[in-house]
């Protein structure tokens, strides 16, 4: 069921957006060569506890997950595209890591993700990350009152294809509210003028993710991590937005 939020409810959701944004900044700053993924997860858990927030991940068990997630942060490294389950791994020079984080504050959820290169940058990896960020910005700009969800999907897909990438539409954006995942589903490619009408009060996450050499994925033996079928690297960018009469606002904007 798709729910439209009142302006007062959207104002209440800002606290969750600010917390998720500030946590991702702290995690981005902490990620470095030699840092263990489990240490990043503990940092996120400590920040959740300090803020009195609630993890959206730790007990999460959808149909595509082998078991409850058990961690508070997704850490997807190199060929891991989405849902990376943190494990005992120290980041190496040149690793591409995506950090995906969602939490609830006062009963409202926000969800966001970013990708970075640890240590020495790589031109191809940076192009991949930059494309996801440009696609995210295009998707947000298309989320105007009176538009349709296909306009958002098409804007994401246009940027992605123009940069030379194919697009997987199995996983994409989603409604956000009292729970992390809800309707509508927001594919990362589509046709303009189609789909759900976008109305003020709609709150959802937009999350382009791309892989360098394929649009096919498989599930890692950990039961959660989704990896590129050909071993090529992946990147992921995400924001939670709210549509208002004046256009979209980014609830998870980072300084």
Neighbouring CB atoms inside 10 A of 38's CB total: 16
Name residue 159's beta-bridge partners.
none
The pLDDT, as a whole number, for residue 2 is 94
Please measure the distance between the N-terminal and C-terminal CA atoms of the chain and give it in whole angstroms. Answer: 33
- Average pLDDT per block of 10 residues along the chain, 255 residues long: 96 98 98 98 98 97 92 98 98 98 98 98 97 98 98 98 98 97 97 98 98 97 97 98 98 94
CA dist 141 and 25 (Å) reads: 23
Burial 157-181 (b: 16+ CB within 10 A, else e): bbbbeeeebebbeebbbbbbbeebb
Contact present, 171 and 186 (Cβ < 8 Å): no
Reported pTM: 0.97
Tell me the helix, strand and coil percentages in the chain, rounded to 5: 30, 25, 45
Quick: pLDDT tens for 174-198.
Answer: 999 999 999 999 999 999 999 999 9
The pLDDT, as a whole number, for residue 155 is 98
Per-domain residue ranges of the chain: 7-250
Contact present, 97 and 76 (Cβ < 8 Å): yes
CA dist 70 and 161 (Å) reads: 35
CATH topology of domain 7-250: Creatine Amidinohydrolase (3.90.230)
The pLDDT, as a whole number, for residue 1 is 87
């Amino acid at each position: 069921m798709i729910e439209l939020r009142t302006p007062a409810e959207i104002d209440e959701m800002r606290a969750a957006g600010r917390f998720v944004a500030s946590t991702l900044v702290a995690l981005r700053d902490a990620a470095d060569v030699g840092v263990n993924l489990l240490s990043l997860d503990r940092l996120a858990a400590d920040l959740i506890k300090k803020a009195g927030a609630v993890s959206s991940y730790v007990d999460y068990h959808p149909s595509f997950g082998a078991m409850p997630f058990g961690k508070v942060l997704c850490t997807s490294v190199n060929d891991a595209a989405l849902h990376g389950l943190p494990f005992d791994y120290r980041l190496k020079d040149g690793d591409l890591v995506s950090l995906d984080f969602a939490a609830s504050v006062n009963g409202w959820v926000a969800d966001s993700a970013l990708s970075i290169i640890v240590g020495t940058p790589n031109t191809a990896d940076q192009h991949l990350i930059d494309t996801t960020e440009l696609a995210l910005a295009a998707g947000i700009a298309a989320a105007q009152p009176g538009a349709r969800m296909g306009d958002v999907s098409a804007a994401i897909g246009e940027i992605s294809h123009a940069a030379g990438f194919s697009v997987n539409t199995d996983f994409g954006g989603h409604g956000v509210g009292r729970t992390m995942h809800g309707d509508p589903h927001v594919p990362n490619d589509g046709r303009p003028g189609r789909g759900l009408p976008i109305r003020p009060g709609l709150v959802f996450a937009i999350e382009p993710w791309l892989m360098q050499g394929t649009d096919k994925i498989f599930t890692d033996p950990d039961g959660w991590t989704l990896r590129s079928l050909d071993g090529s690297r992946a990147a992921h960018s995400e924001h939670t937005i709210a549509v208002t009469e004046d256009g979209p606002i980014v609830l998870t904007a980072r300084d």
